[in-house]
């Protein structure tokens, strides 16, 4: 590799390591606070506010019942909780499935012409009168204490939105197990960003807002099919306070095939890039706190950093494979002679630094596991995550960057 390529990698590795160190310091700073938070949340509230949860559906005949039932099972005063199931012009039997719920006191069902998720949400918003508003994707299920826990944070009058911890529902195959690791990382980072006042996503599944937020700042926008990101950025731009309720658990069904995962991540990354561009005035401004000065720039750089570093790794791996193939072609396949000599361990600076950055990632994953599951468990999912994710992530990251530059629209499904 040329000197310049080396230097670029060192810069990216330094930045990545810096971000990891920063997050870990935040974690150690806030560990005790997190525990007292959990205890406080368990005590619950004296007066429960009224809440409406919207469930926008488009062709979700298979999963929407489970979603609605999980809402009905919420540990929350039934007279204070309303559930709106909104069919956004489905072409399957979703509307028929929704009929099952029309006689439940808490549930209202609606049907409208297809217009996209944000139109379904705004449609729901126009009919809501409760104190708090939440949204739940039709392929997600809530833990029964999720709402109760989130609501506690609204006791602070300044809090405008509360985000949950999102976990993968019963991962079975390798693709789902990789995401389980990834989502655990997400739970950790979201909590840390919450402490920094720097969350830039209010996840679709079960983020709760004060209704006045929509009155003051408007409803959902199309936002490149990532309206949950845009809403968070809009609130941040208006200096609204948001926190993460790490004890509010939501389960979401993960894409179970590589192609579906790729499409989803492409949409997310493209959405982030486009929303970041729309909100570029937040970048590097002290006014917007840690979000503007550090988190948004870091999240943006990490896209290119991941592409470059992982791309270089894949390139080197490909080159080694190519050499092995030439060797096998020349002399045939032999049993490798195992002759371990410490001499051959790669001790170039890049290898040592990469190993350290990798260790940082592993540390964060272990810490996030402890947060999400309460214990640290070693499993094959970690192995799959490191092996496979490193190869596939650069692909959708690159494609998202390409799409942003050349304005190729991404599809929802």
Partner 1 sequence: MESKINYKKYLYSFVITAIIFGTAFYLSNYFDQKKIDDIRAIQDKISIDIMSSETQFSLLEESSCQDLSSQNDLTDELNTLEEKLTATENQRGANDPEVQTLKQYYSLLEIKDYILMNQISQKCKKTPLNIVYFYSTDNSCADCEKEGYVLTDLREQFPDLRVYSFDYNLDISAVQTLIKINKVENNLPAIYTDGKIYYGFQSVDDIMKAVPELQALANAKNATSTAATSTKKF
- Residue 137's Cβ-side half-sphere holds a number of Cα atoms within 13 Å equal to 15
DSSP sequence for 172-205: -SHHHHHHHHHHHHHHHHHHHHHHTT------TT
Residue 363 within binding range of partner 1, rule CB under 8 A: no
CB of 287 to partner 1, least distance (A): 10
Residue 290 within binding range of partner 1, rule CB under 8 A: yes
Of 127 and 323, CB closest to partner 1: 323
Contact between 307 and 300 under an 8 Å Cβ cutoff? The reply is no
Q: Which of 331, 333, 378, 380 binds partner 1 (CB under 8 A)?
A: 331
Map residues 164-203 to x or -, x wherever contact with partner 1 holds by CB under 8 A.
Answer: ------------------------------xxxx------
Residue 338 within binding range of partner 1, rule CB under 8 A: no
Nearest to 116 by CA among 258, 278, 224, 239: 224
Of 32 and 337, CB closest to partner 1: 337
Q: How many residues bind partner 1 (CB under 8 A)?
A: 38
Which region holds residue 44: left if phi is over 0, alpha if psi is between -120 and 50, else beta?
left
b/e per residue 268-295 (b: at least 16 CB within 10 A)? bbbbbbbbbebbeebeeeeebbbbbbbb
Residue 243 within binding range of partner 1, rule CB under 8 A: yes
Residue 17 within binding range of partner 1, rule CB under 8 A: yes
Q: Which of 241, 263, 370, 399 binds partner 1 (CB under 8 A)?
A: 241
Contact between 152 and 44 under an 8 Å Cβ cutoff? The reply is yes
- Residue 209's Cβ-side half-sphere holds a number of Cα atoms within 13 Å equal to 30
Residue 22 within binding range of partner 1, rule CB under 8 A: yes
CB of 214 to partner 1, least distance (A): 22
Residue 327 within binding range of partner 1, rule CB under 8 A: yes
C-alpha dihedral sign at 246, 252, 256, 258? negative
Q: Detail the DSSP E strand segments found in 40-153.
A: 51-57, 81-88, 107-112, 132-135, 140-142
CB of 23 to partner 1, least distance (A): 9
- Identify which range of 142-150, 245-253, 273-281, 285-293 contacts partner 1 by CB under 8 A: 285-293
Of 103 and 330, CB closest to partner 1: 330
Residue 157 within binding range of partner 1, rule CB under 8 A: no
Residue 347 within binding range of partner 1, rule CB under 8 A: yes
Residue 26 contacts by C-beta under 8 Å, 6 or more apart in sequence? Answer: 192, 195, 196
Element (H, E) at 250: strand 241-252
Output the six-digit token pair for 364: 């964060």
Q: Which of 48, 262, 294, 366 binds partner 1 (CB under 8 A)?
A: 294
Question: Can you give the binding site for partner 1, defined by CB under 8 A?
Answer: 14, 17-18, 21-22, 25-26, 29, 194-197, 241, 243, 286, 289-290, 293-294, 323, 326-327, 330-331, 334, 337, 341, 343-349, 351-353, 356
């Amino acid at each position: 590799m040329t000197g310049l390529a080396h230097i670029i990698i060192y810069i990216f590795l330094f930045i990545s390591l810096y971000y990891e160190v920063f997050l870990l310091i935040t974690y150690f700073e806030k560990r005790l606070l997190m525990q007292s938070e959990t205890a406080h949340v368990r005590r619950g509230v004296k007066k429960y506010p009224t809440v409406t949860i919207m469930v926008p559906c488009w062709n979700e005949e298979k999963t929407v019942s489970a979603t609605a039932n999980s809402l009905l099972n919420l540990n929350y005063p039934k007279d204070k909780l309303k559930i709106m199931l909104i069919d956004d012009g489905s072409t399957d039997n979703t509307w028929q499935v929704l009929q099952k719920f029309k006689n439940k006191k808490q549930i209202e069902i609606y049907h409208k012409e297809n217009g996209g998720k944000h139109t379904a949400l705004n449609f729901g918003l126009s009919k809501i009168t409760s104190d708090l508003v939440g949204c739940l994707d039709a392929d997600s299920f809530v833990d029964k204490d999720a709402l109760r826990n989130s609501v506690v944070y609204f006791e602070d009058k300044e809090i405008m939105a509360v985000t949950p911890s999102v976990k993968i529902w019963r991962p079975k195959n390798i693709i789902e197990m990789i995401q389980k690791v990834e989502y655990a990382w997400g739970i950790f980072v979201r909590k840390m960003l919450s402490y920094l006042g720097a969350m830039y996503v209010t996840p679709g599944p079960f983020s709760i807002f004060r209704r006045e937020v929509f009155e003051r700042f408007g409803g959902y926008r199309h936002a490149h099919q990532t309206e949950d990101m845009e809403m968070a950025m809009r609130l941040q731009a208006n200096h609204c306070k948001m926190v993460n309720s790490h004890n509010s658990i939501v389960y979401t069904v993960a894409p179970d095939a590589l192609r579906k995962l790729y499409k989803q991540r492409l949409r997310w990354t493209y959405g982030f890039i486009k929303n970041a561009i729309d909100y570029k005035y937040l970048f590097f401004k002290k006014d917007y706190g840690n979000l503007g000065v550090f988190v948004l720039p870091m999240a943006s750089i990490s896209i290119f950093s991941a592409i470059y570093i992982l791309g270089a790794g894949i390139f080197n791996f490909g080159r080694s494979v190519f050499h092995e193939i030439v060797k096998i072609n020349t002399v045939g396949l032999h049993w490798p002679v195992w002759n371990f000599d410490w001499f051959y361990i790669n001790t170039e600076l890049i290898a040592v630094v990469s190993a350290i950055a990798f260790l940082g990632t592993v540390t964060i994953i272990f810490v996030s596991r402890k947060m999400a599951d309460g214990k640290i468990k070693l499993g094959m999912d970690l192995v799959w995550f490191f092996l496979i994710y490193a190869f596939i992530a650069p692909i959708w990251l690159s494609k998202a960057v390409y799409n942003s530059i050349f304005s190729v629209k991404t599809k929802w499904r």
